Chain A
């Protein structure tokens, strides 16, 4: 068995492969096209289709705009559709900026893209063409959504689930910055806010119905949702029915971007704390990971193997992931270009790569 780690950076796409997840062979930046423009583009989203192993990457070139590329040979070669795969329809006076998240439906070929500006697109051909999910774009709350520092985007797309209890292919949870959590139970025809209990420190109303700046939502193996917010860390078994409960006590700070849930053990979640919005540095200038094994009741640092010197790179929303293996590997990359993996159930970290451009996203799979 081998493992593939796909790393999206501000300057191109890198991959690393390993047989044992301890010794890695790094390659990149990959040539997506025959010229250099796409190699120099930022890679803001990576998705690996669980049905086909197709890798999708969302790029944004400062000169030549956004695109979506795909590989059907685990990164060996890359292709781009002839026509822009994601574009707003003519009656919308807005333009696609970048993909922030790919997610895959139960139906083979179904791919969702959460994008900037705040929108959800759906593909039924494996990601070669997408259509806007119109009801969410037309949501009456849209005028209340506004961009945070990173832009206005849907960055979390969780098909099939709106509560811990049960899954349904007609259901989906998305999260946006800012705007909060929204859910559909009718295949995207209608959307309702599901952010009750999440605090908004930047709005006059402290606990509004919607408008929160959720940074990432992760789903644990028992279906429980965990949310890292712009100030605030929360859990919920049913966001629409019972709202969210703070689990920030015990963390060094309540700010951060990434959350990763253990793929098999309920209640185990990794968190990557960041000093608040005006700073965006690791607390105490130490690279650190926090872990809970009791659903957020208590937290402990899991820093073995990480640098002990002062460190200034943080982990962004999609800069952390798990490979989902039976004994799962956990991965994260930082804005200072270091990538780490933990293969002993998340207790000790080994460096995969160093000195890359700032890492925007990582995805890992067993191949």
Chain B
């Protein structure tokens, strides 16, 4: 299966300047949790993962990750299922400062 992760401008330096990252994944039943997608992303771009999650793998408070149109916390958090062709968008929340 393949998913695409879209990144905001501010995070692109941490993945070589790319606006999107295509990730081929091996999933037996064609689905996997968002956590596993982020783990795969972390292997390729560890500093990007540092921006998104703490060292315990928890999503940072003001980082929103949309799985297709749904922010993952509104679904099942990092257990939100991801399927072939899913688009994942990382967006800073309207917060912080």
- Interface residues, chain A, CB within 8 Å of chain B? 33-37, 61-65, 67, 80-84, 87-88, 93-96
The reply on B10 being an interface residue by CB < 8 A is yes
Please determine whether A83 and B58 come into contact, CB atoms closer than 8 angstroms. no
Residues of A within 8 A of B46 (CB): 82-84
| A80 closest partner in B (C-beta) | B47
Partner of B50, one of A35, A36, A67: A67
Within 8 A of A (CB), among B26-75: 46-47, 50-52, 54-56, 58, 60, 62-63
B contacts with A: majority SS: mixed
Q: In the complex, what residues of B have CB within 8 A of residue A80's CB?
A: 47
User: Which of A35, A37, A62, A95 is the one whose CB lies under 8 Å from B95?
Assistant: A62
Kindly state whether residue B20 has any CB partner on chain A within 8 Å: no
Please list 9 pairs of residues, one from A and one from B, whose beta carbons are closer than 8 Å in the complex, sorted by A's number.
A35-B12, A62-B95, A63-B63, A63-B92, A63-B93, A64-B51, A64-B63, A84-B55, A87-B55
Report Cα–Cα, A61/B60, bound state, in Å: 10
Q: Is the CB of A82 within 8 A of B10?
A: no
Set of chain A residues within 8 Å of B50, measured between Cβ atoms: 64-65, 67, 83-84
Alpha-carbon distance between A182 and B12 when the two chains are bound, in angstroms: 43
Nearest A-chain residue to B49, judged by Cβ = A84
- CB of B24 closer than 8 Å to a CB of A: no
Q: Shortest Cβ distance from A203 into chain B, in angstroms?
A: 31
B13 contacts A by Cβ under 8 Å: yes
B9→A35 contact, CB < 8 A: yes
Contact B63 A35 (CB under 8 A): no
Docked-complex contact A88 and B9, CB < 8 angstroms: no
Sample of 15 more A-B contacts, CB < 8 Å, known A64-B60, A80-B47, A95-B56: A35-B10, A62-B62, A62-B95, A62-B96, A62-B97, A63-B62, A63-B93, A64-B51, A64-B52, A65-B54, A82-B47, A84-B47, A84-B50, A88-B55, A96-B55
A29 to chain B, nearest CB (A): 15
**Structural contact, B13 and A33, CB atoms closer than 8 A:** yes
Q: In the assembly, what is the distance between CA of A63 and CA of B97, in Å?
A: 8
Q: Which residues of chain A come closer than 8 Å to B10, judged between CB atoms?
A: 35-37, 64
Minimum Cβ distance to chain A for residue B89 (Å) = 15
A81 to B92, CA, bound (A): 22
Q: How far is the CA of A63 from the CA of B9 in the complex (A)?
A: 14
Most interface-central of A34, A65, A82 (chain B CB within 10 A):
A65
Tell me whether A95 and B55 are in contact (CB under 8 A). Answer: yes
- The answer for the CA separation of A64 and B95 in the assembled complex, in Å, is 12
